[in-house]
Amino acid sequence: MQIVKLDHVNLRTSRLDTMIDWYTKVLGLRRGKRPGFSFDGAWMYADDAAVVHLVSVDGEPGAGSEGELKLEHFALAASGRAEFEARLEAMGERYRRSDISDFKLVQINIWDPDGNHIHIDFPADE
């Protein structure tokens, strides 16, 4: 067996509609087809791939053991950094830019409404 790529991230949330709206407006993902599970949720797509699975929960979505995060961040590769940064600025979204010259990447670090850390990796030569 050989791992070839990350397929998706599954996030629990008590604010499903807010999260769907954020992932649509900020990351440009779209809500798409999802199996008929017995619980509410949404699959958010980039092209034909469901990259973020949102699961609706009542109350607190929970954290890792002793209240600590088990997932520090997840990352997505993208193109169109200038347009993305302009969108974040126009929306008033908090973000942090990191230039990773060793790997010729620019990372844009953002946080969704539930506080999940996401970094979007762009080629530095864009």
Q: What is the mean pLDDT of residues 59-70?
A: 63
Between 27 and 68, where is the model more confident?
A: 27
Domain ranges of the chain: 9-59+73-123
Mean pLDDT rounded to a whole number for the chain: 89
Residue 70 reports pLDDT greater than 80: no
Tell me the C-alpha distance between 103 and 26, whole Å.
Answer: 25
Between 71 and 23, where is the model more confident?
A: 23
Tell me the C-alpha distance between 122 and 119, whole Å.
Answer: 10
Q: Summarize pLDDT for 16-32 with one digit per residue, the tens.
A: 999 999 999 999 999 99
pLDDT score, position 57? 87
Tell me the C-alpha distance between 45 and 20, whole Å.
Answer: 11
Between 3 and 101, where is the model more confident?
A: 101
What's the pTM value of the predicted model, to 2 decimals? 0.83
pLDDT score, position 69? 58
The top-level CATH class assigned to 9-59+73-123 is alpha beta
Q: Summarize pLDDT for 72-96 with one digit per residue, the tens.
A: 789 999 999 999 999 999 999 999 9
| Beta strands, E only, the chain | 9-13, 30-32, 41-46, 49-56, 73-77, 95-100, 105-111, 117-123
Share of the chain above pLDDT 70, in %: 89
